[in-house]
Amino acid sequence: MDQMSLLLLLLLGAVVTVPLGDRLKLPAPVLMTLFGVVLAFASFVPDVDIPPEIILPALLPPLLYASVQRTSWRQFAANKRPIFLLAVALVFLTTAAVAVVADAIVPGLPLAAAVALGALVAPPDPVAATAVAGSVGLPRRLISILEGEGLFNDVTAIVLYHVAIAAAVSGTFSLPEAFGLLVLSAVVAIAVGVALGWLTIKLMGLLGDATLQVGLTLLVPFVSYVLAEELKGSGVLAVLMTAMFLAEHTADADDVLGRLTGRTFWEIVDTLVTGIAFGLIGLELHNVFGTADGRELEMAGWGLAVVAVVVGVRLLYLLPATWLAKRLHTRRDVSEEIPTSWRETVVMWWAGMRGVASVALALAIPLETDDGSPFPGRDEIVFIAFSVIMVTLVFQGLTLPWLVRRLGVRADTDAEAALERELAIRAARAARQRLKKIEETEDLPEEVVERLHRLAYEVGARISPEMGDDERRDAYAKRVERFRTVGRVQREMLSAARHAVLDARSEPGADPEVVDRVLRQLDVRSLR
């Protein structure tokens, strides 16, 4: 088996583990990691050979961009305090604690290399955490905090990582210079992200076609990352800013096809890239054991010590941090999403699994320093990092659903239903107001007006069937049943039409382009 065959096998695994995880009630990222572990020890599977310098720019931009699609700037603004406490303060604290312990227990490990180790194991993985959280039905506010924490702690940790790596490679370190690099990195990244977001909007207007626009969004995160890195900025922060800028400024309520196409496309990209990333975690395990060189037990001890620090620091920090967030929330009456009980805090603690970012940073450690000597402690850092990843990802990932059930933490379905009903009422009201304005300017037949008023109500009823009184709900239910019958028959009719058009493709003299154009019209009609 060659590298290309292995990549195709990982892609197949990424697709298969999603429904398999649903059936087994297990998170797909954990299953994909275990799949990679199995492949790693199979004799016919080759060792993964990926240059360290391309791992971060290949994996992180699409994952970050896809993650931002699931959130909004308002959500970040409302949760800035808990996100800051988790994403910035906790990352710094974890980095410092791991660096101190690693410097003390690993012989010959320079402090800069120990800081790099601390930075790469500090950020919990948002992909794994939200995948598990979504499968066990956590409250939406916890998922929002985990997503926000995951995005911003990646930024913080990666900037710290680059500063530490630069110090280890050059052999020199200056605190004022490092702080200046942090500030410069952030400023450049924000400027690049916003500028590229603005330019992308202009290009989308010129392209017009939904397919081309979606294709452009695939290129944008990679361009944002590479451009920011070339200008000495944070590529991760640049991608984050670009994605958030586009999410806020490209929302077109009437671009139905573009929205459906874009969402479907990025769900596919997210699934495939996530599968590859977690599969690589398992596959690299074989190489990691190869670096131990007979010191497996000693290095495993170091890894467990760092695991204890990472997990312990998160718990010891979250307890007072969430208490402080609740106190500030109460005093200022700020609309932010925070854990409301110690049970939710414990779930947040156990959801701090390490994953894609950590493995990418570990594999991206340079092989040599500026003077040509091997990077100090690289094998030890990679082994310890993978120990942390495997223990937190596999063990915590598999036990988190059990912990959630034991603690009785559940999504607030009543609040979600109330919000859904409120949005349904708002949608129906907007439809009626627009209809009223049209009635004032156009002379519509009475039977058409009556039908349109009924449709205005159904706009909201389709979203929340509970809205309206009993009589209207019963009438709507009967109409829905009739529509289902008509829809079923109509689907069969349209299916026959599509088959007839497709059959024409194989007939002599048929123009495939014309056939595809007609088929697209039938497909759009079927969606409606």
Q: Please state the φ and ψ torsions of residue 272, each to the nearest 5 degrees.
A: -70, -45
Angle between helices 413-441 and 446-463 (to 10 degrees): 160
Sorting pLDDT into bands at 50, 70 and 90, what band is 494? Answer: confident
Share of the chain above pLDDT 70, in %: 78
Nearest Cα to Cα of residue 65 among 216, 286, 170, 186: 216
Nearest Cα to Cα of residue 64 among 232, 246, 250: 246
More confident residue, 76 or 183: 183
Site of tokens 């990424």: 14
Instruction: List all residues 6 or more positions away from 57 whose beta carbon is below 8 Å from its beta carbon.
Output: 222, 225, 226, 229, 235
CA-CA distance, 284 to 207, in Å (whole number)? 41
Rg (CA), the chain: 26
**Would you state the structure tokens that stand for residue 414, as one six-digit string?**
């009543």
CA-CA distance, 487 to 493, in Å (whole number)? 10
Q: Please, what is the average pLDDT of the chain?
A: 78
At residue 15, does pLDDT exceed 70?
yes
pLDDT digits (tens, 9 = 90+) for 183-218: 888 889 899 999 999 999 888 888 877 788 888 888
Please report the pLDDT score of residue 130 as a whole number: 64
Nearest Cα to Cα of residue 30 among 397, 291, 311: 397
pLDDT digits (tens, 9 = 90+) for 341-381: 778 888 888 888 887 778 778 878 888 888 888 888 888 88
At residue 78, does pLDDT exceed 70?
no
CA-CA distance, 62 to 34, in Å (whole number)? 23
Site of tokens 């699931």: 70
What is the average pLDDT across 491-519? Answer: 78
Sorting pLDDT into bands at 50, 70 and 90, what band is 528? Answer: low
Please report the pLDDT score of residue 93 as a whole number: 92
Q: What is the dihedral of CA 214, 250, 128, 87, to 10 degrees?
A: 140
**Would you state the structure tokens that stand for residue 43, as one six-digit string?**
């004799």
Cβ(345)–Cβ(143) below 8 Å: no
**Would you state the structure tokens that stand for residue 189, as one six-digit string?**
């990244």
Sorting pLDDT into bands at 50, 70 and 90, what band is 518? Answer: confident
At residue 468, does pLDDT exceed 60?
no
Q: Please state the φ and ψ torsions of residue 374, each to the nearest 5 degrees.
A: -60, 145
Sorting pLDDT into bands at 50, 70 and 90, what band is 266? Answer: confident
Please report the pLDDT score of residue 99 as a whole number: 93
**Would you state the structure tokens that stand for residue 398, as one six-digit string?**
């598999």
| Highest mean pLDDT: which range of 71-75, 112-116, 448-452, 465-469 | 112-116
Nearest Cα to Cα of residue 520 among 259, 253, 261: 261
Please report the pLDDT score of residue 412 as a whole number: 61
Please report the pLDDT score of residue 369 as a whole number: 83
CA-CA distance, 194 to 219, in Å (whole number)? 16
At residue 304, does pLDDT exceed 90?
yes
At residue 443, does pLDDT exceed 90?
no
Share of the chain above pLDDT 90, in %: 9
Q: Please state the φ and ψ torsions of residue 394, each to the nearest 5 degrees.
A: -75, -55
C-alpha separations of 104 from 111, 169, 243, 292, 517 in Å = 10, 21, 41, 19, 68
Sorting pLDDT into bands at 50, 70 and 90, what band is 333? Answer: very low
pLDDT digits (tens, 9 = 90+) for 22-68: 787 777 778 888 888 888 777 777 777 676 667 778 888 888 888 77
